[in-house]
Amino acid sequence: MDFISRLFGFQKTAQQPDIPFGRFSDAYKSDAQQQSFDRSLEAFEQGEYLKAYRDFLIFLKDEDAKVPNITWQETEDEIRFELWQGSQHITGFANAEKVKAESKVARADDLNVGFMRRLMEANFNLKFSRFALDADNNISIVFDTRTSDGSPLKILHALRELAIHADKQDDLLLSEFAMLHPSEERDHGNISDTEKEVKYAYIHRSIEAAFAEIDKGKPDPNTYPGSYAYLLLALAFRLDYLIKPEGFMMDLLEKVYAAYFTKNNLTPQVKVQQMRREFQTLLDRPKAEFFKEMYRTRSTFGANPAVPHGTFASFIGGELANMEWPIQQGHDALAFAVTQYVTGFTLFHQAPPKPDREFLHLFFQISESTFFRELGFHIPFTDAAGRLQKAEILKEIKHIVERNRAQYTRLRPNTNSLDFASYTLFGKSFLLMLKDLDLTKE
C-alpha cells in the first residue's frame, strides 16, 4: 500500500488509483529525519562539512516517495546532489570551499526585454538565490555560498527558495513568452488522457455551477457579496486540491485568492466580479493548454507551514458562524461553501496534524464523491443518488482513528454529534467534530 493510500485512508482490500491530491508538504518529517538534521547542525559546528551535508540530504529525502525526490554521490572531498521540485530539476555540489545549486528554468531564442525585466524584478524579492543567464541563453536560478558560511539551516532556506521559485516560474514564463523553450525535457509524470478528461470536465462543471448560483441572484450579490466570496474562494481551493494543477491554472487560482484578500480600495462587490473574471479565463482556455499542465510531480519542499491543531480549531470556530444566515434563509449552496472554504483553505495554506489532514480529505471524498468515482476510486460514502451513507462514513472515521491512535492517544472524535440530514448540516457538524478533537501527543 503506497503513501497516499496510507495517508488518506484507503482500505487494503480496495484497489484505488494512484492519483495524488493537494500540494506537497514537507512538514511531516519522521523522528529519524529530525535526528539527521540535528546531527547535521552538530557536524557543521565541528567543521565536518561533508558529514553535515550528508545528514542534511538524508533529512530532505522523502521517505514515502515511490521515486526518490533526491539523490547524491559522494567522493572523498565532494558531494554532488540532484533534487526535484515539481517539474524542476535542481543540481548542486558541496565541498570544503563552496556550496552551489542551480536549476535551469527555460532556454531563450532571443533576449526579450519582457522576460528579462520580469526576472530582474523577481531578483529583488529573492533573499538567497538569483535568476541569471548562462552562455547558452539558459535562464537559471542559482544559489552559492562559501562552505564556512553555509550552515545546514541557511542551505535549507536557500534551497527551498530556489526550488519553489524555479518550479513556479518555468510554466509561467513558457506560457507567456513564445521565444522561451524548456531547458530540459520532462521525462516523468505523464498521466492518462482519461484522467485529464475527467479533471477538465470537473473544472468546467464546477465553475459553471458556481456561476449559475451567482446568476440566480438570490440573495442579491450586490447586497451580500461576502456569501458569494465564500462560494468562489471555496471553488478555488477545491480545484487546487483536487486537480493539483501546475503552471497557469495554479497561478490563476492564487490570483483568485489574492483578488479578495489584497488590501485596497475595491469594494467586496468589485472583488467578487474580479474573481469571477479570473474563473472565466479558465473556461475560455483551450483544452490542450490544460492538458499540457496536467502531469505528476515529485517535490522536496512544501510552501505550507506546519500548524498545531489549536490553530485549525480556532479557524473553524471563527468561520462557521458565517453559515448561520444562509442556513436560516435556505441558501444551502452558500452555507455549504463555507465548509468547503474552511477545508480547502486549510489544505492550501497549512500543514495541520496528520489526523486533521486525513479527515479533511475524507470530507472532500464525501462531498465530491462523483468526481472521485469518475477517477476510478471506490467511494462508498454516498449512494448513486448522492445520499450520505452513515455507516460507511462512520467506518472510515474509525479507520482514521485507528491509524493515528499510536501517536495521538486521545484521538476520540464524537461521531454522535454528526448530523446526516443534509450535506450542509453534515459539513457543519463534521468540522465542529474536528474542532473538538484532542490531538495531544503523549
| 1 part of a folded domain | no
Q: Are residues 76 and 210 in the same domain?
A: no
What is the three-class DSSP state of 63?
coil
| 9 part of a folded domain | no
List the domain range (segments joined by +) for residue 228: 193-435
Q: Are residues 161 and 200 in the same domain?
A: no
Q: Are residues 108 and 227 in the same domain?
A: no
Q: Are residues 168 and 203 in the same domain?
A: no
Q: Are residues 227 and 370 in the same domain?
A: yes
| 305 part of a folded domain | yes
> Of 127, 152, 181, which residue sits at a domain end?
181
Q: Are residues 228 and 373 in the same domain?
A: yes
Domain count, the chain: 2
Q: Are residues 89 and 207 in the same domain?
A: no
| 233 part of a folded domain | yes
Q: Of 82, 72, 147, 140, which is closest to residue 106 (Cα–Cα)?
A: 140
| Per-residue burial over 235-268, b = 16 or more CB atoms within 10 Å of its CB, e = otherwise | bbbbbbbbbbbbbbbbebbeebbebbeeeeeeee
d(CA 294, CA 189): 9
CATH number at residue 71: 3.30.1460.10
Residue located via cell numbers 465542529: 432
Per residue of the chain (442 residues), give pLDDT as tens: 344 444 444 444 458 898 999 988 888 888 899 999 999 999 999 999 999 999 999 999 998 888 889 999 999 999 999 999 988 899 999 999 999 999 998 888 777 777 788 888 888 889 999 998 888 888 889 999 999 999 999 999 999 999 998 888 777 777 777 677 777 766 568 899 999 999 999 999 999 999 999 999 999 999 999 999 999 999 999 999 999 998 889 889 999 999 999 888 999 999 999 999 999 999 999 999 999 889 888 899 988 888 999 999 999 999 999 999 999 999 999 999 999 999 999 999 999 999 999 999 999 999 999 999 999 999 999 999 999 999 999 999 999 999 999 999 999 999 999 999 999 999 999 999 999 999 998 6
Helix extents (H) in 71-186: 113-124, 152-176
φ, ψ of residue 89 in degrees (nearest 5): -105, 120
Distances (CA, A) of 59 to 147, 275, 280, 300, 355: 19, 40, 42, 10, 23
Tell me the torsion sign for CA atoms 359, 259, 302, 45: negative
Q: Are residues 261 and 133 in the same domain?
A: no
d(CA 120, CA 117): 5
> Of 181, 203, 232, which residue sits at a domain end?
181
Q: Are residues 341 and 378 in the same domain?
A: yes
Contact yes or no for 436/309 (Cβ under 8 A): no
Q: Are residues 146 and 249 in the same domain?
A: no
Q: Are residues 120 and 263 in the same domain?
A: no
The pTM of this model reads 0.87
Contact yes or no for 14/379 (Cβ under 8 A): no
Q: Are residues 157 and 296 in the same domain?
A: no
